[in-house]
């Protein structure tokens, strides 16, 4: 049994078996992509590696629990994950600012975030917590609401939600961190390592509730644990690199001060 709200410095594959079966509400898996020269990213067959993870995660998730698996566009190609988890969406995290250096092919400028659930229905999908602004102006929206085919469509009366819309499965509104980002923990944490908090926040808000348990087996510099702390979720995090664990713990302490400060202001 592992303690909660702790970042373990270890190889994920040695600790994962110690997690209780069907105890996890949400897994954020931002592990190796198999494309960089980082020693931990040298995976000979990333699809087989991901299938191995999926089989382990399926056992650890509660019924209806969610897994978000990060990778390159081919990260789950030609593997059969269906006996273990149900793929609900392939979210494209579009990064238009990525250098377009391709000469004989189209440059890849997105990461894939594969959204799986255990069983047939997600136990949590908090759409209202992750709505994004409607891109059409208010006047146009109101005009749409008077169009009979819109309001009497297949799904009954359609009313545009003033709080915003479903973010869909192509996310171009969240930028990858750059060398200049104030949020960047260390220069080497760029690109393959540190993810923007806003991105992880959307996943955590959508697929968990306050008090739920989130697993991050490849925690890097601790973005998911920090987001969980701020949003009142518990976590179990694992990261093998001691420098990253240290940076993650510092970030967690800062988040704790921030939360304590907010309570004090009250
Ligand atoms: C893409 S990064 C995660 C970044 C993280 N989401 C963040 O925002 O900081 C992947 C991390 O997985 C770690 N890692 C790779 N293989 C591992 C393993 N077998 N066990 C534990 N950590 C591992 C690497 O050291 C790296 O920090």
16-47 pLDDT per residue, tens: 999 999 999 999 999 999 999 999 999 999 99
Same domain, 247 and 237: yes
CATH number of the domain residue 38 falls in: 3.40.50.150
Same domain, 243 and 172: yes
Q: Which atom of ligand 1 is nearest to the CA of 185?
A: 9
Q: Which residues approach ligand 1 with their CB closer than 6 A? A: 11-13, 30-32, 40, 192-195, 218-221, 223, 238-241, 244
Q: What is the torsion angle, in degrees rounded to the nearest 10, for the CA atoms of residue 217, residue 220, residue 224 and residue 230?
A: 130
Specify whether the CB–CB gap between 151 and 157 falls below 8 A.
yes
Global confidence as pTM: 0.93
Q: How far is the CA of 193 from the centre of ligand 1 (A)?
A: 7
Task: Say yes or no to pLDDT of 246 above 60.
Answer: yes
Closest by CA position to 68, among listed 17, 7, 111, 97: 111
pLDDT of residue 110: 95
1: in domain:
no
State mean pLDDT over 208-237. 98
pLDDT per position as a tens digit, 66-110: 999 999 999 999 999 999 999 999 999 999 877 677 789 898 999
| Residue 229, domain extent | 6-131+166-265
- The total of other beta-carbon atoms located within 10 Å of residue 144's CB is 15
**What is the pairing mode between strands 213-216 and 110-117?**
unpaired
Same domain, 146 and 239: no
- Three-state secondary structure call for residue 25: strand
pLDDT per position as a tens digit, 179-199: 888 888 877 776 668 999 999
Comparing 135 with 42, the larger pLDDT belongs to 42
In the chain, DSSP finds a helix count (H) and a strand count (E) of 7, 8
Q: Percentage of the chain with pLDDT > 70?
A: 91
pLDDT per position as a tens digit, 117-133: 999 999 999 999 999 98
Q: Which of 165, 185, 207 is the last residue of a domain?
A: 165
Task: Say yes or no to pLDDT of 173 above 90.
Answer: yes
pLDDT of residue 191: 61
Specify whether the CB–CB gap between 251 and 226 falls below 8 A.
yes
CA distances from 162 to 133, 168, 203, 205, 222 (A): 8, 17, 22, 19, 34
- Average pLDDT over all residues of the chain: 91
Same domain, 17 and 148: no
């Amino acid at each position: 049994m592992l303690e909660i709200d702790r970042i373990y410095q270890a190889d994920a594959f040695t600790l994962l078996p110690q997690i209780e079966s069907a105890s996890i509400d949400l897994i954020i898996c931002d592990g190796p992509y198999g494309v960089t020269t980082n020693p931990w990213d040298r995976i000979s067959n990333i699809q087989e590696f991901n299938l191995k993870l999926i089989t382990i995660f399926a056992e650890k998730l509660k019924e209806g629990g969610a897994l978000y698996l990060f990778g390159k566009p081919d990260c789950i190609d030609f593997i059969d994950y269906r006996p273990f988890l149900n793929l609900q969406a392939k979210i494209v995290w579009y990064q238009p600012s990525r250098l377009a250096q391709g000469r004989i092919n189209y440059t890849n400028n997105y990461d894939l975030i594969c959204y799986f659930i255990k069983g047939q229905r997600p136990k949590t999908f908090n759409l209202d917590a992750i709505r994004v602004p409607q891109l059409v102006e208010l006047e146009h929206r109101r005009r749409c609401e008077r169009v009979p085919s819109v309001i009497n469509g297949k799904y009954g009366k359609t009313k545009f939600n003033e709080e915003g819309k479903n973010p869909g499965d192509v996310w171009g509104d969240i930028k990858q961190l750059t060398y200049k980002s104030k949020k960047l923990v260390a220069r080497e944490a760029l690109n393959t390592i540190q993810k923007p908090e806003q991105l992880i926040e959307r996943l955590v808000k959508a697929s968990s509730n306050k008090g739920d348990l989130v697993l991050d087996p490849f925690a890097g510099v601790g973005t998911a644990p920090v987001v969980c702390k701020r949003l009142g979720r518990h976590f179990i995090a694992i990261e093998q690199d001691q420098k990253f664990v240290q940076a993650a713990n510092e970030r967690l302490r800062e988040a704790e001060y921030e939360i304590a400060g907010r309570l004090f202001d009250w």
